[in-house]
Chain A
């Protein structure tokens, strides 16, 4: 009896042998879980509480990378400050640059804000374009397709499962998008400023114009001169909403709000950065906070 139990357990576990997926950020991780279902175990490396450029390269992340079959990264330079040294020391040939198990999402997304010239004189500019595409709910479809194709490539025996999950998920997501886009149609907010150019994909998608950033240059802390200029721009253009992320200091935005009568909207940049637990919640929260 015992033996039978043990052997069935053994067989069972080999049937449900799962693919270990590491995702650098939470939104891509959530999409991977939708496509992989029970066949995958998803670990998110960078907590959405923190600035995605400055994830702490904790050695515990090495243990997670060591066991990964697939690493989904955002790309576009977003992980440049923390992922390369971890990848070098995790000693996992499956997920190094050039291996089948590395999926760089930026290769599948139409990158916007690609600079014509790049120099650090302009601050922390990403040569490949703005890497913060996760804020656009339409990009979820691009992510789903790329992840499905990758999973089929590295685990072809479960192709049917991945295709089915993909179909189900994209059908649901299309439904969500048509409702979401309709809601955005009636969004009253048409002009904003933001702390960092985190929300450009969302803003471009829904024709909301961003008039500037609280930081004078990407990655450079606010200066009084720049803040005063921004206040002037906001007054001239009647801008009433400041998009603030969860991780930067909030003092400057509050100061600007006090001088312009604008409202500070704290917008999640990634699923779970606020209280959102699902992809739907994440995008609905962005919509509510911008349009309220």
Chain B
């Protein structure tokens, strides 16, 4: 190679008879220098190649570790009702005194609500797995653990395990992703803090249309005894349809209807039917700023053999995200229908069960949140008296590690 180049340069240069020999010599020197540089480069490159030989441990499985996230949630609460009285509140028609489960922000003073460990991983080409371990200060709970298909054809997806139903809008979302720390009243009344979350299977289908349209069907054991509770068989079935349209680039809407039918265990085994309607509209004011309006209406017909209770309620919330760091929101909660036996509350006004909540939150970074909220609660009976409760709370939530992005 080297020789032939030198030779050809010589031939070419000899053609130009008027070129002086000294010039030729200079050119040759230059070419030699160039050649040496190139040789040096090649040598360096081959050295680098040798050092990139894979010397990782022979049985290392590090790259297959699941994504792991740690979620912590805690609060400081001020409330104008003593802890011992608050624990025994009643929500007339839904929750009797002393019956409520209060896993979050129960005490005046400090609350450590939970530490959650979330793990997710692709199992193989066919399945994804997801689990969230919910740790209370003195309790371990598998909040969700399920597998999900990733390769079914024609828009289908199957899920199996213990998981939250996609009924309505809020049911599927974890507490840390709600816009308010407290659960919407109607969800608390009908399902308690666990929502519809049970062992079961889910099938969802997304239509191949220009407009988003999704149908889902789920079968569960039905262990939630606020509304269901007959677990002699898999007695709970949920179905829903959801669709979404963009009215403009900035304004998007998502709406859905849901239906759950199960069996309660009051006076034997009797049917419970729950209907849900949800509507969310989001107007984007910029990359980091948006106004979101989200509302849901839930209605329950609970047959308990001697009568059929007909109850309903709603919540409506308006969230203004000012920028990457600040958001604020208002929520209105109401029980709109309460046709049931209220004789235990004789002499107490049980009408106008409503609640107002306001919040301001600060996100130093997308992974952390400090939220200040005020709540005026007109839904509770305490010590056989209707009692309006005022509460101010400062809560902190962090999601550290490989925490997946949230849905719309």
Flag whether B34 is at the interface (Cβ < 8 A).
Answer: no
Of B157, B211, B366, B400, which is within 8 A of A60 by CB?
A: B211
How large, as a class, is the contact surface on chain A? Answer: 35 or more
Stretch of A76-84, A133-141, A146-154, A284-292 contacting B (4+ beta carbons < 8 Å): A76-84
Give me 27 A-to-B residue pairs in the complex whose CB atoms sit less than 8 angstroms apart, sorted by A's number: A49-B287, A51-B287, A56-B252, A56-B290, A56-B408, A57-B408, A58-B244, A58-B252, A58-B408, A59-B212, A59-B408, A60-B212, A60-B245, A63-B206, A63-B207, A63-B212, A63-B244, A66-B207, A85-B406, A89-B407, A91-B156, A91-B157, A92-B206, A93-B151, A93-B152, A98-B122, A99-B151
Flag whether A47 is at the interface (Cβ < 8 A).
Answer: yes
Known: A88-B148, A93-B153. A56 touches B206 (CB 8 A): no
Question: Do residues A91 and B408 form an inter-chain contact, with CB atoms below 8 A?
Answer: no
Question: Do residues A59 and B288 form an inter-chain contact, with CB atoms below 8 A?
Answer: no
| Beyond A63-B206, A89-B214, A99-B151, 13 extra complex contacts between A and B, CB < 8 Å | A49-B249, A51-B287, A54-B287, A57-B407, A58-B252, A63-B213, A83-B405, A85-B406, A89-B206, A91-B204, A92-B155, A220-B365, A249-B323
B182-213 CB mask vs A (1 if < 8 Å, else 0) is: 00000000000000000000001111111111
Flag whether A111 is at the interface (Cβ < 8 A).
Answer: no
**A179 to B207 alpha-carbon distance, docked (Å):** 48
Question: Do residues A80 and B282 form an inter-chain contact, with CB atoms below 8 A?
Answer: no
Q: Please indicate the chain B residues that have their CB under 8 angstroms from the CB of A221 in the complex.
A: 323-325
Flag whether B5 is at the interface (Cβ < 8 A).
Answer: no
- How many residues on the B side are at the interface (Cβ–Cβ under 8 A)? 47
Chain A interface main SS type: loop
B136-178 CB mask vs A (1 if < 8 Å, else 0) is: 0000000000001011110111000000000000000000000
**A99 to B125 alpha-carbon distance, docked (Å):** 9
The 6 closest A-B pairs by CB, nearest first: A59-B244, A51-B287, A63-B212, A93-B151, A247-B287, A50-B287
Question: Do residues B206 and A90 form an inter-chain contact, with CB atoms below 8 A?
Answer: yes
Flag whether A67 is at the interface (Cβ < 8 A).
Answer: yes
Of A66, A84, A96, which is within 8 A of B151 by CB?
A: A96
Flag whether A7 is at the interface (Cβ < 8 A).
Answer: no
Known: A85-B405, A88-B128. A66 touches B208 (CB 8 A): yes
Flag whether A97 is at the interface (Cβ < 8 A).
Answer: yes
Flag whether A241 is at the interface (Cβ < 8 A).
Answer: no
Q: Which residue of B lies closest to A81 (CB)?
A: B405
